[in-house]
């Protein structure tokens, strides 16, 4: 049975005080029992939020692929595990674009995260010029073939996929519910062909392109959409609560 998931990504925003107030406000409400709530917070907030996160699971937004070493400024998977971080977001389009992360690197990071018993939120998706050429299916398939398709069935039990059409992130544009469903179905088909029926049926696939309270319910109602990876709307407790209750 696939999980319904409302995941927030705060990116390089907020501080610990904001995070503590935010999770308290969310936890003051009775959250749906069938929805897993995750928030990807800045590194410096993880240790301070995990003990007070209540019904919310805390995710890191990245980690390094090596166990340790001379990598000034980086954070290892073992460091995240030591503060009881549950999830790590990997392959986000902003990491790919601004930090030149490749599918090979993202795969190495996934291995390291799962080696330490944490789960991965793996991001994939196409830029505008690919969508305009109607080549998005091949583009995303190649991303998957060079990364998660090289995992084992057992490892896939610890992976959530987030499809994020890059052209709809922070632009105010949103893929239509039918566009989202079409790509999610395509991704699930790739999982079916690679790992078999059980993995395809049990892997949650989130939509990650400008999810808001106004469009969440319709997007989440699609057969192969299991929730959202939410950016800006996850910084506002009321908006995020509305999204959590959209299933």
Q: Is 164 part of the annotated catalytic residue set?
A: yes
Chosen CATH of 4-244 out of 1.20.1250.20, 3.40.50.12780, 3.30.450.40, 3.20.20.70: 3.20.20.70
pLDDT band at 1 (very low <50, low <70, confident <90, very high): confident
92, 101, 126, 184: which is the annotated catalytic residue?
92
Q: Is 111 part of the annotated catalytic residue set?
A: no
64, 126, 164, 184: which is the annotated catalytic residue?
164
pLDDT band at 171 (very low <50, low <70, confident <90, very high): confident
194-213: pLDDT as tens digits: 999 999 999 999 999 889 99
Query: Where are the chain's structural domains?
Result: 4-244
pTM of the model: 0.96
CA-to-CA distance for 125 and 179, rounded, in angstroms?
A: 12
The separation between CA 155 and the C-alpha centre of its own chain, rounded to angstroms, equals: 16
């Amino acid at each position: 049975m696939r999980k319904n998931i409302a995941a927030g990504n705060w990116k390089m925003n907020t501080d610990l005080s904001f995070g503590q107030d935010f999770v308290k406000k969310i936890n003051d409400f009775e959250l749906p029992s069938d929805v897993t709530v995750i928030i990807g917070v800045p590194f410096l907030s993880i240790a301070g939020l995990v003990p007070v996160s209540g019904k919310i699971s805390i995710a890191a937004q990245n980690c390094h692929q090596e166990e340790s070493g001379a990598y000034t400024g980086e954070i290892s998977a073992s460091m995240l595990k030591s503060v009881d971080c549950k999830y790590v977001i990997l392959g986000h389009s902003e990491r790919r674009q601004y930090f030149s992360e490749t599918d090979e690197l993202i795969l190495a990071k996934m291995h390291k995260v799962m080696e330490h018993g944490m789960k991965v939120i793996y991001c994939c998706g196409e830029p505008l010029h690919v969508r305009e050429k109607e080549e998005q299916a091949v583009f995303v398939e190649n991303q998957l073939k060079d990364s998660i398709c090289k995992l084992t069935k057992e490892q896939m039990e610890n992976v959530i996929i987030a499809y994020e059409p890059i052209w709809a992130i922070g632009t105010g544009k949103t893929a239509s519910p039918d566009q989202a469903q079409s790509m999610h179905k395509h991704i699930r088909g790739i999982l079916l062909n690679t790992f078999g029926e059980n993995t395809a049926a049990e892997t949650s696939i989130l939509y990650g392109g400008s999810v808001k309270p106004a469009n969440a319910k319709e997007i989440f109602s699609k057969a192969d959409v299991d929730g959202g990876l939410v950016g800006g709307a996850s910084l506002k407790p009321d908006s995020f609560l509305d999204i959590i209750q959209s299933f």
